Amino acid sequence: MAASALVVLEPKSLIRPTHWSKEVENAYRFQLAGYRDELEYKRIRQVAE
């Protein structure tokens, strides 16, 4: 049985938004729900892309 390697990517920098956009809104919603970003949400929830 092969073990799948889970790679956890750590953020390397922080860029603060200068205006509110659809991407900023989505990032805010993921963080409000307790996830770092969309990638972490998909990894934890095992959502197919």
Residue 34: which pLDDT band, with cuts at 50, 70 and 90? very high
Mean of all residue pLDDT scores within the chain? 85
Q: Is residue 12 one of the residues assigned to a domain? A: no
Q: Is residue 37 one of the residues assigned to a domain? A: yes
Q: Is residue 11 one of the residues assigned to a domain? A: no
Cα–Cα nearest to 14, from 31, 29, 1, 32: 31
Interacting residues of 36 by C-beta distance below 8 A, sequence separation 6+: 11, 30
Q: Is residue 36 one of the residues assigned to a domain? A: yes
Whether the predicted pLDDT of 37 surpasses 50: yes
Q: Is residue 10 one of the residues assigned to a domain? A: no
Instruction: Report pLDDT for 24.
Output: 94
Query: CA 11 from chain center: how many Å?
Result: 10
Sequence-ordered alpha helix ranges (H) in 1-49: 22-32, 38-45
Q: Please compute the mean of the pLDDT values over residues 4-16 and round it to a whole number.
A: 75
Domain extent for 41: 20-49
Whether the predicted pLDDT of 1 surpasses 60: no
Q: Please compute the mean of the pLDDT values over residues 1-19 and round it to a whole number.
A: 74
Q: How many domains does the chain have?
A: 1
DSSP character for 10? P
